[in-house]
Chain A
Amino acid sequence: MTKRIILGAVAILMVIAAAYAAFFIAPEERTMGLIQRIFYFHVASAWAGFTAFFLCFLGNLLYVWKRDQKYDWLAVSGAEVGLAFTTVVLITGPIWAHPVWGIWWTWDARLTSTFVLWLLYVSYLLLRTLVDEPDRRALLSSLFGIFAFLDVPLVFGAIRWWRTQHPQPVIMGGQGSGLDPTMKSVFFFSALAMHVLMLFLVAERYALEKMQTETDFLAREVEAQ
């Protein structure tokens, strides 16, 4: 509990520092101007969301292998937190796109695959509400979760493999891509801050899932008397 409180406090301080750096330290981008500052929040949230979905994937694989409930707790925590981060990506993206592209949304490969990713993890969480028996629920959702994660590399690669309305990558984009060194430092700090926030939320959600299992166990014991 104390560790989680410390992690939460560190996450809040880092997110505030990242916002300060994005507004006051990063230089203004020449063609887009002020609106480009959404980049530090939008892309950092996307990366943290991918990591949360990876934790879900890891939990799913480990559950299928070891059949231990704690891996299912990790998986559902990663899925829910990843969904929150992807929701932020899907909201901040159009706010950035509208002044730059003149449209809120287009069905290009990057945007569509991200929206599909969001739908897949909504389905993952819905599936869990349909099955009451804990082991069966964990196994079915693990299998679905492994399938859902296949979309993550697709989202990552969409702007590298196909021509899209969404800009080409400026980080890990190969030759011709890149960022001003200060912009790069601010971005990596923002990504780190978002990852700390993500880990804090996963830890909170994991504790909730653990408590839910204890409650269910106790409820069955009371019922049996």
Chain B
Amino acid sequence: MKNLDSVFAAYIVGWGVFFVFYLTIAKRTSNLRAELERLKNSLPRGK
């Protein structure tokens, strides 16, 4: 089982990059959704 640690490291770090990237998109989306709601509420009704 030579180099098993390297293979695991490659897969874990790789998946980690995708996971963190997805988290940044989800976080930005959540912040924008809140901002969008705030802006909609600040407009007069009927707009």
Q: Point out residues on B near A: beta carbons under 8 Å.
A: 1-4, 6-7, 9-11, 13-15, 17-18, 21-22, 25-26, 28-29, 32-33, 35-36, 39-40, 42-44, 47
Contacting residues, chain A, for B42 (C-beta < 8 A): 222
CB-based contact B17/A41 at 8 Å: no
CB-based contact B36/A211 at 8 Å: yes
Question: Assuming the A-B contacts A201-B25, A204-B25, are A215 and B39 also in contact, with contact meaning beta carbons closer than 8 angstroms in the complex?
Answer: yes
CB-based contact A219/B21 at 8 Å: no
The one of B7, B10, B44 that contacts A91, using a Cβ cutoff of 8 Å: B10
A208 vs B9: C-alpha distance when bound (angstroms) = 31
Q: How far is the CB of A172 from chain B (nearest CB, A)?
A: 23
A35 within 8 A of partner (CB): yes
Contacting residues, chain A, for B6 (C-beta < 8 A): 35, 38, 95-96, 98-99
21 residue pairs of the A-B complex, CB under 8 angstroms, read A33-B3, A34-B1, A34-B2, A34-B3, A38-B6, A41-B10, A41-B11, A42-B10, A80-B21, A84-B21, A91-B10, A91-B13, A99-B3, A201-B22, A204-B25, A204-B26, A205-B25, A207-B29, A208-B29, A215-B32, A215-B39
CB-based contact A41/B14 at 8 Å: yes
Question: Assuming the A-B contacts A38-B7, A201-B22, are A88 and B17 also in contact, with contact meaning beta carbons closer than 8 angstroms in the complex?
Answer: yes
A212 vs B29: C-alpha distance when bound (angstroms) = 9
Given A99-B3, A208-B25, A208-B32, 7 more pairs with CB closer than 8 A: A41-B11, A84-B21, A91-B10, A92-B14, A96-B6, A205-B25, A211-B33
